[in-house]
């Protein structure tokens, strides 16, 4: 069981790590070359960008589904699938236009609602509007990666990520500082450089798909709207949309309490949220592997393996998570200074890591439990737990503690409280065994009708 978990988790971890490195390179350049104000600007816009990513990824999934269906059926012409393609592209065009115009026009209003500090409001508005104008690029990036994932070609998907990572590593600092022939555009230059890199990666990947997967890239023959066809496609996009939208919601539930303490607090929270993602990455990879193995156990009625699966999920996760948590506790200033060196931002980030660091160990338990629960087909339960930890624990605790005078430290304790509550809910649900009741009923029916 240990070997199977590692075999499945390792490629998932590598791919996710490459994607994360791409994002980290961008913010490290911004922090080291432009300082805390620029990092705070990105952090203030981040929940909206996460929401935009959720929409783009969901819309891309709607568009890629008809392509994959025809490709798998190996048909040159399929009128039913072509109708789906026409509707999906119509939906995509409408979504891109709606999000682009909507975010561009409402940027200052949304940032004001989030309590964005006055000192970075103008820069944040400009940054968010540029991101809105690049929403089409974001959509096509998700569409290409979705297609590459669907056809199962790992190398091509890695190539797409590698191009983006290498491009950001080289071009972002050039556009920020005005190196060589490039204009000096500061923070906005970082965005433009990322757009250029993404477009190059899209072009290379499109060429690869056209060469190796002929017939996969379907074109719309007309734009049309069919409510029934769209209703059949939208549910396929919901899992990825909900997963990413929850990330945006979780970030929003904190940033609205952090922003009132100034741009340094905003910058610190953005940096530590990136560190949170790094800590969670190994555990999430193991969770996905456990989910796959759990589904196989259910389908094969090998339910006795579940305890072993859970135990090995914990044992594999714990050493990695413990080492990262220990590093965050012992060297918190070093961890923050990777991204930004402003002393006041570093001090706020250090405060967070020393409070949260050993709470990271809860990720081991949380994701092991969720791997079993999701694999059992009860993903809706983990969704309810996540929403409840935000709405019932994180927001009220943050509101109470900040009003009691704990300032931004109160927000950090609210994050820890929500981690504890979420892990406890998943663990108690796993121990209850409620998630396997339907299997027991099915086994009884089989035994009753097919005696041995």
Query: Tens digit of pLDDT per residue, the chain (452 long)?
Result: 667 777 777 777 777 777 788 788 888 999 999 999 999 999 999 999 999 999 999 898 888 888 777 777 666 666 777 788 888 889 989 999 999 999 999 999 999 999 999 999 999 999 999 999 999 999 998 888 888 777 765 666 777 777 788 888 888 899 899 887 888 889 999 899 889 988 988 888 888 777 777 766 767 777 778 788 888 888 877 877 888 888 888 889 899 999 999 999 999 999 999 998 888 888 888 888 888 888 877 766 666 778 888 888 888 888 888 998 899 899 999 999 999 999 999 999 999 999 998 889 898 899 889 888 888 888 788 888 998 999 999 999 999 999 998 999 999 999 999 999 999 999 999 988 887 766 543 433 333 333 33
Cα–Cα distance between 55 and 60 in angstroms, integer?
8
What pLDDT does residue 258 have? 94
What pLDDT does residue 301 have? 62
Domain assignments of the chain as residue spans, ordered by start: 1-12+262-433, 35-238
What pLDDT does residue 266 have? 95
What pLDDT does residue 75 have? 63
Give pTM, 2 decimals: 0.86
What pLDDT does residue 402 have? 92
Burial 147-179 (b: 16+ CB within 10 A, else e): bbebbebeebbebbbebbbebbbebbbbbbbee
Which three-class secondary structure state does DSSP give residue 219? Answer: coil
What pLDDT does residue 155 have? 66
What pLDDT does residue 74 have? 67
Expressed in percent and rounded to 5, the helix, strand and coil fractions of the chain are 85, 0, 15
Residue 67, both tokens: 């392509």
Please identify which residue in the block is written with the tokens 């555009």: 185
What pLDDT does residue 265 have? 95
Q: Are 291 and 375 in contact (CB under 8 A)?
A: yes
């Amino acid at each position: 069981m240990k070997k199977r978990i590692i075999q499945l988790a390792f490629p998932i971890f590598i791919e996710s790590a490459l994607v994360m490195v791409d994002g980290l390179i961008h913010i490290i350049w911004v922090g080291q070359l432009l300082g805390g104000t620029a990092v705070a600007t990105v952090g203030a816009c981040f929940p909206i960008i996460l929401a935009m990513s959720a929409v783009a990824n969901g819309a891309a999934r709607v568009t890629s589904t008809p392509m994959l269906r025809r490709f798998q059926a190996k048909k040159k012409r399929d009128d039913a699938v072509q109708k789906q393609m026409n509707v999906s592209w119509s939906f995509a065009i409408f979504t891109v236009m709606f999000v682009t115009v909507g975010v561009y026009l409402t940027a200052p209003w949304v940032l004001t609602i989030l309590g964005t500090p006055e000192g970075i409001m103008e820069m944040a508005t400009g940054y968010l509007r540029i991101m809105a104008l690049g929403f089409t690029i974001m959509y096509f990036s998700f569409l290409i990666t979705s297609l590459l994932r669907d056809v199962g070609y790992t190398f091509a998907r890695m190539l797409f990520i590698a191009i983006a990572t290498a491009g950001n590593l080289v071009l972002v600092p050039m556009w920020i500082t005005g190196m060589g022939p490039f204009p000096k555009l500061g923070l906005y230059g970082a965005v433009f450089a990322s757009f250029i890199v993404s477009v190059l990666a899209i072009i290379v990947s499109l060429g690869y798909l056209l060469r190796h997967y002929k017939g996969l890239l379907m074109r719309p023959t007309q734009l049309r709207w069919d409510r029934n066809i769209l209703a059949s496609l939208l549910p396929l996009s919901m899992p990825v949309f909900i997963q990413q939208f929850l990330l945006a919601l979780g970030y929003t539930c904190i940033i609205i309490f952090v922003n009132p303490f100034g741009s340094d607090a905003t910058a610190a929270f953005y940096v530590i949220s990136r560190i949170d993602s790094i800590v969670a990455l190994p555990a999430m990879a193991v969770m996905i592997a456990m989910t796959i193995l759990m589904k196989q156990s259910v389908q094969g009625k090998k339910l006795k393996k579940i305890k072993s699966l859970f135990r090995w999920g914990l044992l594999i996760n714990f050493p990695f998570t413990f080492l990262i948590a220990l590093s965050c506790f012992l060297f918190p200033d070093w961890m923050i200074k990777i991204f930004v060196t402003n002393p006041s931002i570093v001090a706020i980030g250090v405060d967070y890591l020393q409070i949260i660091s050993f709470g990271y160990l809860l990720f081991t338990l949380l994701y092991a439990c969720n791997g079993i629960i999701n694999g059992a087909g009860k993903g809706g339960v983990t969704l309810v737990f996540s929403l409840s930890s935000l709405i019932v624990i994180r927001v009220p605790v943050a509101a109470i503690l900040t009003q009691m005078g704990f300032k931004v430290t109160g927000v950090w304790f609210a994050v820890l409280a929500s981690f504890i509550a979420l892990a406890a809910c998943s663990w108690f649900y796993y121990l209850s065994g409620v998630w396997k009741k339907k299997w027991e009923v099915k086994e009884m029916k089989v035994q009753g009708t097919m005696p041995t």
